[in-house]
Amino acid sequence: MLGSWFLAVVESESHAHSVPGWVTTLFAIILGLMVMCLALEEKLHAKKSIIVGSFAGACLLLATLLDLLTFGQVRLPTGHEMDLPIYIPAIDWGVITIILGASLFVEVTSRSGIFTWMAIKLTKKSGGDPWLLLLAYGILTVVFSAVLNNVTAMIIIGSLTTVSLNKLNRNDLLKGFLLTEGLLTNVGGLLTLISSVPNIIVGKAAEISFVKFFVVAAPFVLIATIVTLFMSKWKFRISGLTSEQQRSESRKLVEGFDENESVASNRFFWFSVLVLVLFIFCLAGQSALPWGLDQLGMGFIALLFSGVVLLAYRHDVDKFYAAVDWDLLAFFAALFVTIHVMEHALVLDKMGAGIASVLQLQSQVASGVLLGCSALASSVTDNIPLAAVLAQILGKMGTASDSSFWWCVIFGANLGGNITPIGSASTVVAMTIIHRQKIPLTFTGFVLIASPFALVQIILAIGYTLVFGPLLF
């Protein structure tokens, strides 16, 4: 069995790389403290990069003093050898370049007005009907979350929703709309390989292609979106317009919306449409690129396309560089270093041995437990280190790329963010917009409203992996 195999590997590695038990325990405590600090990020008044960077530095120093790290050499094509610090190869530069390139690309293309244009078009198509408007914004939220980062998607959709409902004089529905959109950003974040950071981490570790990821995730995203929207309709009492007079008045209001108001240049607008399509197409067909370009990875594609669109603003690129979440990139670099040290201290081996004992259960039970635990953990702490640790553990277990365990981590890490307002960045943004509109909503209030949605989504995910997993994975 998989668990037994892993335990045997751990035993063999322990002989090859002997680490005293107290050292492993010490580093396990350090890892736990780091996760706790990330959960208390707001109270500590420190950014993620500072928190994880501090722990990464401490781990490197302590591991070096305890002689846990090996400093190898890299051989260049010329035959020359050079020493590299341990933290250089420890960083997954593929993930770093994907985030950097995609962030720049999205930031530039959004200036064309393409995303706002799409949103207002959908609003006008709804005719001002609240239920149709919820459907439109719900679908748009999922689409935006799939091609943008969740925070950007929530900011754009939230601002447009506020304007729409204000014009329709339906501010009473604002809380329901914003909460629904916040919940759907994490659902939409499951749609593609690059829709969320956990997807990138786990997908890369499992060697899941862009196309396969979409094929597997899309049916679940569709089901979860439909269920979430209908639950919202019932929970927030969002009903459609029933009389012709109501529909006529609403149509007059939405006719005043101008989808072209954010389009400063028609030329740049259509250029952005073209490169966006090409960007998605190249990501989807990355493995089939000719002339050896497939070996460069998705990070290269993201950086290439960001460079192409930046040419349009080549004299004013500083504002786009300023918009990049450098804190997130530094956080990732430090996180990879920390996890690398934990691997050398055999912390991940010990965690893996514990997980392996669970995975020795009947496969259906093991999948459900893994998904549920991943969701609960991501509700109180950052899902990024969670996904990174679990991906590392599953990788060391030799988990096959078609195993449902990878998808249990992906589903759990994303959907768990809907349980609490600190579970994901998008729900934090949703709460911020709600409070900005002077709508009262406490931490407990959010949990009471959102947890039933999250529970249903998680149950659907467990059922999906068990029923359709053998066919899709």
Asked whether the beta carbons of 202 and 212 are under 8 A apart, the reply is no
The reported pLDDT for the residue numbered 1 is: 40
For residue 11, what pLDDT band results from cuts at 50, 70 and 90? Answer: very low
83: which strand partners? 73
pTM: 0.68
List Cβ neighbours of 61 (8 Å cut-off, separation of 6 or more).
none
Residue 456 lies in a domain: no
The reported pLDDT for the residue numbered 16 is: 44
- % of the chain with per-residue pLDDT over 90: 12
CA triplet 284, 287, 290: central angle to 5 degrees?
Answer: 110
Q: Is residue 2's pLDDT more than 90? A: no
Radius of gyration from C-alpha coordinates of the chain: 23
Residue 386 lies in a domain: no
The reported pLDDT for the residue numbered 381 is: 63
The reported pLDDT for the residue numbered 348 is: 66
The reported pLDDT for the residue numbered 354 is: 67
Q: Is residue 6's pLDDT more than 60? A: no
The residue that leads in pLDDT, 106 or 4, is 106
Number of domains in the chain: 1
- % of the chain with per-residue pLDDT over 70: 84
Q: 248-306, pLDDT tens digit by residue?
A: 777 777 777 777 777 777 888 888 888 888 887 776 666 667 676 666 777 778 888 88
The reported pLDDT for the residue numbered 363 is: 66
d(CA 355, CA 351): 6
Residue 265 lies in a domain: yes
Q: 402-421, pLDDT tens digit by residue?
A: 788 889 989 998 999 898 87
Q: Output the six-digit token pair for 346.
A: 């055999």
The reported pLDDT for the residue numbered 14 is: 40
Residue 421 lies in a domain: no
Residue 50 lies in a domain: no
> What domain range includes position 149?
94-205+219-323
Q: 78-96: buried (b, 16+ CB within 10 Å) or exposed (e) per residue?
A: eeeeeeeebbeebbbeebb
Section 382-398 average pLDDT:
76
Q: 219-242: buried (b, 16+ CB within 10 Å) or exposed (e) per residue?
A: ebbebbbeebbebbbeebebebbe
Rounded mean pLDDT of the chain? 79
| DSSP H/E element including 135 | helix 130-147
Residue 363 lies in a domain: no
Residue 161 lies in a domain: yes
Residue 250 lies in a domain: yes
Question: Read out DSSP for 80-92?
Answer: -EEE--THHHHS-
Q: 202-230, pLDDT tens digit by residue?
A: 888 888 888 889 989 999 999 999 999 99
Report the Cα 60 to chain-centroid distance in Å: 28
d(CA 56, CA 52): 6
Section 148-155 average pLDDT:
72
